[in-house]
Amino acid sequence: MNTDGIKKQILLAAPRSKVWKAITNSSEFGAWFGMKLEGPFIAGQTIKGTIAPTQVDPEVAKLQEPHTGKPVEMFVDSIVPETKFCLKWHPFAIDPKVDYSKEPMTLITFTLEEQGTGTLLTITETGFDKIPISRRAEALKANDGGWAHQCILLQKYLSRG
């Protein structure tokens, strides 16, 4: 097993432009992911927001409810239109008593490729080997499961029409 990263792929029945908008428009991203973000994603800038239950799956929304209002902060590393979108964040930063700002961030990369009439989305998150050993395994496990769920949420979001 790779201890430094996660890789998920999903073939989405949507054109690349629609998938691109769903992942790079901060309000659309927040709707399926489960966040309320303040402003747009801009390369080289930090975006802040709060956890807000997903709008596409009532069961997942219930699981997110206890975290509603918790702060979220991501750094927009790079944007290559309709090809690649990269964010950095502090993985599994859920304990309000811990200051994660001194820890390294992991890099999340969304890569889009046309595949037939759909879009192959590859999500990778790397940099876990730099996370403190005391929480590394838990963060990797939580985010591995989290990205599997997020792929499904994105698929549901895109199928809403």
pLDDT at 47: 98
Is 83 within 8 Å of 111 (Cβ atoms)? yes
Helix or strand or coil: residue 14?
coil
Q: What are the tens digits of pLDDT across the range 123-155?
A: 999 999 999 999 999 999 999 999 999 999 999
How far apart are the C-alpha atoms of 113 and 71, rounded to whole Å? Answer: 32
pTM: predicted TM-score of the whole model, two decimal places? 0.95
**34 pLDDT higher than 90:** yes
DSSP structural state of residue 93: -
Q: What are the tens digits of pLDDT across the range 59-84?
A: 999 999 998 999 999 999 999 999 99
Q: What is the mean pLDDT of the chain?
A: 95
The separation between the first and the last C-alpha atoms of the chain, rounded to the nearest angstrom, is 37
Is 120 within 8 Å of 107 (Cβ atoms)? no
